[in-house]
Amino acid sequence: MFPLGFFPYIIGGILIGIGVSLIYILTGFHATQSSFFDTTISFFSKRAYFLQKQYLDSRGWRLTFALGVILGALIYTLTLAAEGFFTTSVEWWRLAIGGFLVGFGTRLSKGCTSGHGISGLASLSTTSAVAVLTFIVVGILTALAIQSLGVLP
Amino acid sequence: MFIGGLFFGFGLAFGGMSKQEIVLSFLQLKDLGLILLLGGSALVTAITINLIPRLMKKPILGGEFKKRKRTLNKRTVIGAVIFGVGWGISGLCPGSAMASLGVGNLPVLIGIAGMFVGAYIMGRFFT
C-alpha cells in the first residue's frame, strides 16, 4: 500500500498546505493551478472568454506563483533530493495526449487536483468533492486500462 | 505569491509528484501515498481558510478574503472525466507539471504544451 512510506507524502502535503495558506493570509486569493493556462492565454488571445475580468486581474500573480512552484521544486532538487535531477520515462505521446486532455478537462471542470482537490475540498464545496471523486475514479480506471495493455510505467 | 509558490513547488517535489511514475503508481493502486499528500494539504488549507477570516478582517496585504464559488453542473463532471482520462494516460496534472520543470524533468514540457492547447480549445470553442 505504501512502499515509499508515509513520510514524504504527509510532509509534502503539509508544505503545500502552508504555501496555499500563506498566500490566503497575505492576499485573500486561492492559490490554485489550472486557471494559469487561461490567464496566460489572455496575454495573447483577443477572445472575450480569455479577457474576462477575473483572468486579467489575476494573470500577473498567477505567473509569479507558477514561477515560485518551479523554483521551489528546483530548490528541493538542489538540497534534499538524494538522486538529483529526474527525467520521466513516460513516452512523449502519452505526455502530449494526456496533457491535452488535462488542459481541456480542467478548464471545462473549472478546477484540477489543486483547485478542486485542495482549495475546493478545504472550502467544503460539494461541487469540488464530486469533481475530485470523479477524476480519481476515472484516473484509476484509465491507468489500470493502459497498464493492462502492457504500456509502462 | 512567490514565497507561497516556493512552498507549493517544494512540497510537490518532496512528495514525489514531479515524478509521473509515482503519480501513476497511485493510479495503478500500487502506492496510495498521493491520497495522504492531497488530504494533508487540503486539511492544512481547510483550517486556514475557515479560521482566518474569523480572526482577521482582511488579508495582511489588503484586499478581501475571497470565497471560492463553483456550481455543480454537467461541465464540472464531464470536465473531471476528461481530466481523469488525461491524468491516467500521462500521470500529469497542472501543478505537478510545473514542479516537474524544477526537477529538470523536461519531457513534461510536451505535456504543458498540450495543456495550453487543450485549455485554448476549451475556451475558444466550448464557451
ipTM of the complex as predicted: 0.96
B81 touches chain A (CB under 8 A): yes
CB B90 to CB A90 under 8 A?
A: yes
The residue of chain A with its CA nearest to that of B55 is A25
The residue of chain A with its CA nearest to that of B104 is A85
User: CA of B60 to nearest chain A CA: how many angstroms apart?
Assistant: 5
pLDDT band at B59 (very low <50, low <70, confident <90, very high): very high
Please name the residue ranges forming H helices in chain B.
Answer: 2-14, 20-27, 33-55, 74-90, 94-102, 108-125
Task: Give dist(CA A12, CA A134) in Å, integer.
Answer: 24
User: CA of B54 to nearest chain A CA: how many angstroms apart?
Assistant: 12
What residues contact A46, with CB distance under 8 A and at least 6 apart?
none
Greatest Cα-to-Cα distance within chain A, rounded to the nearest angstrom? 49
Give A36-45 pLDDT, tens digit per residue: 999 999 999 9
Give A49-76 pLDDT, tens digit per residue: 999 999 999 999 999 999 999 999 999 9
Give B19-47 pLDDT, tens digit per residue: 999 999 999 999 999 999 999 999 999 99
Model confidence, pTM:
0.96
End-to-end CA, chain A? 17
B51 touches chain A (CB under 8 A): no
CB A24 to CB B5 under 8 A?
A: no
What residues contact B74, with CB distance under 8 A and at least 6 apart?
none
Task: Give dist(CA B72, CA B60) in Å, integer.
Answer: 32
